[in-house]
């Protein structure tokens, strides 16, 4: 595993992912002493380049007052920037913060974020699968084989990418006539 000695030069060169990982390491005390100010420094470098996860973490640091004076205006700024890029944590945190700043009762404060979660779950876990499952199916045995194979080849990134790669292969096979039989096999 790469330590700070390998990440710091990358972060200094402007690599946003390295900057974010360094921020996480200092934020959580993983492999380095826990240091909120150093975490903020690395998060800020990545966030200033538009890295959404770093923007969310920076918003959380400002919202909680960890490593910086508590500043809800700055927290909203960073959460909004993350949310504009579609970052779920930024969207959720922005809803919670907006609710806490505008309502006295806790249940009213958490209502915007709760509604966001409910609507997201209904759309993402119910409606979309119901609409797509009728037209697009994959053989479950091939999904498992794909997961095992790509995990063996690339580890966790391979496991994460295995089903999308299988789905892309099926979509291509369904649209190329000579490969239609293989696409039908992938469907199960």
- CB 4: neighbour CB atoms within 10 A? 15
* Residues 35 and 103 placed together within one structural domain of the fold: yes
Using only the alpha carbons of the chain, give its radius of gyration: 22
Decide if 126 is inside a domain.
no
Which residue, of 65, 99, 115, is where some domain finishes? 115
Q: How far is CA 42 from CA 36, 45, 48, 73, 176, in A?
A: 10, 5, 10, 20, 47
Average pLDDT over residues 54-75: 91
Summarised one tens digit per residue, pLDDT across range 27-63 is: 988 888 899 999 999 999 999 999 999 999 999 999 8
Binning pLDDT at 50, 70 and 90, where does residue 1 land?
very low
Range of the domain at 111: 4-115
In a domain, 124, yes or no: no
Same domain (yes/no): 27, 80: yes
Domain end among 115, 150, 175: 115
- Confirm whether 58 is domain-assigned: yes
Q: What is the mean pLDDT of the chain?
A: 87
109/149 same-domain check? no
State pTM to two decimals: 0.61
* Residue 32 and residue 26 in contact, taking contact as beta carbons nearer than 8 Å: yes
User: Residue length, the chain?
Assistant: 188
- Split at pLDDT 50, 70, 90, the class of 68 is very high
**pLDDT value at 21 more than 70:** yes
Task: Provide the pLDDT confidence category of residue 120 given band limits of 50, 70 and 90.
Answer: confident
Say if residue 19 is in the same domain as residue 69.
yes
2 pLDDT higher than 80? no
């Amino acid at each position: 595993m790469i330590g700070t000695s390998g990440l710091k030069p990358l972060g200094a060169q402007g690599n946003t992912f390295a900057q974010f990982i360094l921020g996480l390491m200092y934020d959580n005390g993983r492999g380095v002493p826990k240091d909120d100010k150093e975490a903020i420094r690395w998060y800020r470098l990545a966030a200033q380049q538009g890295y959404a996860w770093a923007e969310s973490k920076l918003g959380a640091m400002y919202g909680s007052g960890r490593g910086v004076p508590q500043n809800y205006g700055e927290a909203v700024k960073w959460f909004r920037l993350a949310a504009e890029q579609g970052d779920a944590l930024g969207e959720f945190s922005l809803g919670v913060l907006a609710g806490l700043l505008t309502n006295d009762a806790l249940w009213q404060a958490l209502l915007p974020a709760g509604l966001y979660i409910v609507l997201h779950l209904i759309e993402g876990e119910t409606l979309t699968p119901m609409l797509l499952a009728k037209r697009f199916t994959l053989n479950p045995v091939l999904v498992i084989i794909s997961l095992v194979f790509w995990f063996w080849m690339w580890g966790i990134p391979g496991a994460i990418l295995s089903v999308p790669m299988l789905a892309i292969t099926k979509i291509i096979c369904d649209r190329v006539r000579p490969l239609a039989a293989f696409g039908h096999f992938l469907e199960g």
